[in-house]
Amino acid sequence: MERAARPDATTIAELGESAVLARILPRLAPGDSTLLGAGDDSAVVAAPDGRFVVTTDMLVHGPDFRLAWSTPFELGWKAAATNLTDVAAMGARPTALVVAIAAPPAMSVAVLEGIADGLREGLARLAPGAGVVGGDLSASSVLTIAVTAFGDLEGRVPVLRSGARIGDVVAHAGARGTAARGLALLFAEGVDDSGEPDAARARDVRARHPELVQAQVAPEPPVAAGIVAALAGATSMIDVSDGLARDARRVAEASGVGIDFEGRTLGPDLRVALAGAEDHGLLATFPRGSRVPEPFEAVGRVVDEPGQVLVDGERAGSDGWDPYAGWDGRSG
């Protein structure tokens, strides 16, 4: 994965919008579903299914990321990855993204180039064939990235949060708590003496814990597993963005059932596995007796406890698995 932005100090304001776009657009691959790409009033995307799935997510410097901790490349990668997982969680194949970026005029153009490179490589790795089909560039004092992602259901019924049935197998694909452990390290050790994010100290943290930091700043969610789950008959599915416990509760509430995790399947640190946000794994349910498809692993059972999340049959408190609320990337 390319990490370093080019050492180009030209600012966005110096170059101007048209010239900036001329440097960014060639870095983006068009994608197999792009019928008309950037350059007109709108783009045109293929939707062979006659429907398309769509999700949008905005990343804001401060609450959602820090340039002291993430390279521009990683920002672009993560912006793609988080949206692609929301498409995957419907059982759809990602087809395209549009990206709106607001950036400070005095920011180096290299930051935008790095974001574009990360978007391209994130798409290539996580959703081959999907491309960036359009975008917008604005000025703001706060670097802000809004991605909208599209997917094709290929004739399938979308997999909703509301379809879990009592007796279903609960299964999970992806990391469990790794991204949160990386973020905890950055908050604890990637800051200066006043607590502000610090690039040099963050580099030290990376050197000691490369996998944990990587999972936070450039996650590799199991995007392809979304279609696998749909084809295997998944009854429900959700992108685990806020932690297994919180997102399992969403499935439990939408489906009117309970989710009972088998504690031993979740690894040595149960609390982190359940509470850790931003792993962007997929939590799905499959009919009783069905074989859980790889890369999913069975982690529990759907039970008759409407709206509840349990571990080994005991109820998890509504905030009992939330020790990270103060630093899970949602607060400044």
Residue 245 has which token pair? Answer: 């416990």
d(CA 273, CA 176): 5
> How far, in Å, are 99, 102, 112, 262 from residue 138 at the CA level?
11, 4, 12, 48
Is residue 140 part of the contact set for a second copy (CB under 8 A)? yes
- In terms of CB distance, is 55 or 108 closer to a second copy? 55
Is residue 53 part of the contact set for a second copy (CB under 8 A)? yes
Query: How would you list the strands of the sheet with 314-315, edge to edge?
Result: 236-240, 281-286, 169-173, 297-303, 258-261, 309-311, 314-315
- In terms of CB distance, is 102 or 169 closer to a second copy? 102
Task: Tally Cβ neighbours within 10 Å of residue 273.
Answer: 25
Is residue 45 part of the contact set for a second copy (CB under 8 A)? yes
Strand partners, 5: none
- In terms of CB distance, is 108 or 148 closer to a second copy? 148
Is residue 52 part of the contact set for a second copy (CB under 8 A)? yes
* Helix (H), strand (E) at residue 23: helix 17-24
- Binding pattern to a second copy, positions 157-196, x when CB under 8 A? -x-xxx----------------------------------
Residues 269-328 that bind a second copy (CB under 8 A): none
Contacts of 160 (CB under 8 A, 6+ apart): 90, 236, 237, 254
Q: Which stretch binds a second copy (CB under 8 A): 107-115, 236-244, 287-295, 315-323?
A: 236-244
- In terms of CB distance, is 199 or 325 closer to a second copy? 325
Residue owning tokens 């000691």 = 208
Is residue 63 part of the contact set for a second copy (CB under 8 A)? yes
Is residue 239 part of the contact set for a second copy (CB under 8 A)? yes
d(CA 190, CA 78): 19
Positive or negative, the CA dihedral 225, 231, 232, 238 is positive
Is residue 46 part of the contact set for a second copy (CB under 8 A)? yes
Is residue 135 part of the contact set for a second copy (CB under 8 A)? yes
Is residue 21 part of the contact set for a second copy (CB under 8 A)? no
Residue 35 has which token pair? Answer: 């019928």
Is residue 260 part of the contact set for a second copy (CB under 8 A)? no
Give residues in contact with a second copy (CB under 8 A). 35-36, 39-60, 62-64, 85-87, 89-90, 92, 96, 98-102, 133-136, 138-142, 144, 146, 148-151, 153, 158, 160-162, 237-239, 254, 330-332
